[in-house]
Amino acid sequence: MSDFLKTSFKTSINSDISNNEASMTDYLSTLYASLVMTSIKWCLETDNYDELEKKLPHF
């Protein structure tokens, strides 16, 4: 999932999403989801469960 940031950025540069508002919204939402998943992955890999618990809401 962390590689998604790099590939998503390259895709946005190669395609012209600036003229299409729906495409830009879709791009930003997937970018945000990728950032969240990358931060969760980092917390789990570094055994930083306390930090993860502070940031995520309880279900």
The parent domain of residue 9 ranges over 3-13+21-55
The candidate with the shortest Cα–Cα distance to 30, out of 14, 11, 15, 53, is 11
Residue 2 has pLDDT above 60, yes or no: no
CB 28 within 8 A of CB 36: no
The count of structural domains within the chain is 1
Q: What is the pLDDT of residues 8-51, one digit of tens each?
A: 666 766 666 556 667 778 878 888 888 888 877 877 788 777 77
Longest dimension (CA), the chain: 42
